[in-house]
Amino acid sequence: GNAPPGVDPEALSWFQTVDADRSGFISVKELKQALVNNNWSSFNDETCLLMINMFDKTRSGRIDVYGFSALLRFIQQWRSLFQHYDRDQSGSISFSELQQAFSQMGYNLSPQFSQLLLARYAQRSPNPSIQLDRFIHICMQLQSLTDAFREKDTALAGSARLSYEDFLTMVVTRML
């Protein structure tokens, strides 16, 4: 049928294909089956859950056609950014490309921290690199935690005093 207002007809068509159980909603499982990285690997479960939660206005653990349409626009914006930082067009982001991306995005992070992220999120290999899903995941978490930190660092000094429980609260409310 015709796409509802604000929903791209292509998004509606894809929604109908992805909605395997015809519930009128997309679950994390259905989303994971629909999204692939440049190397044809499925998107990671954690990233799919993070994105579903971001576009799930009813807190039901699934998204309707409007949320799915917004999610597709969101992923396309990230894909464009990813391709911009994938300087060698390899389909993944290497350590040096990740460092450049963070710097250009305004994050002043040490090479050691970037290496830690690479070790945590890249597939094990002699030359570890980040796929699109993990790039989205890292950037969403960095932004969320940066926002939380800025709430405590009101002087924008780059440091803040907080209790252990404040720290845990920041992480738990932003990461789960």
Cα–Cα distance, 122 to 90 (Å, whole number)? 14
Beta carbons of 6 and 14 less than 8 angstroms apart = no
Class level of CATH domain 89-175: mainly alpha
Fold match, 1-85 / 89-175: yes
Hey, what are 67's tokens? 């949320």
Query: Would you kindly state where each structural domain of the chain is located, as residue ranges?
Result: 1-85, 89-175
* CATH fold of 1-85: Recoverin; domain 1 (1.10.238)
pLDDT of 1 reads 60
pLDDT of 175 reads 66
Beta carbons of 70 and 77 less than 8 angstroms apart = no
Run means of pLDDT, 10 residues per run, the chain, 176 residues? 83 92 94 88 90 89 93 92 94 94 92 92 87 93 87 88 89 72
- Would residue 67 be called left, alpha or beta, if left means φ above 0 and alpha means ψ between -120 and 50 degrees? alpha
Question: Burial level of 131, CB count in 10 A (0-12/13-18/19+)?
Answer: buried
Cα–Cα distance, 145 to 141 (Å, whole number)? 6
pLDDT of 43 reads 92
| pLDDT per residue as tens digits for the range 10-43 | 999 999 999 999 999 999 999 998 898 888 888 9
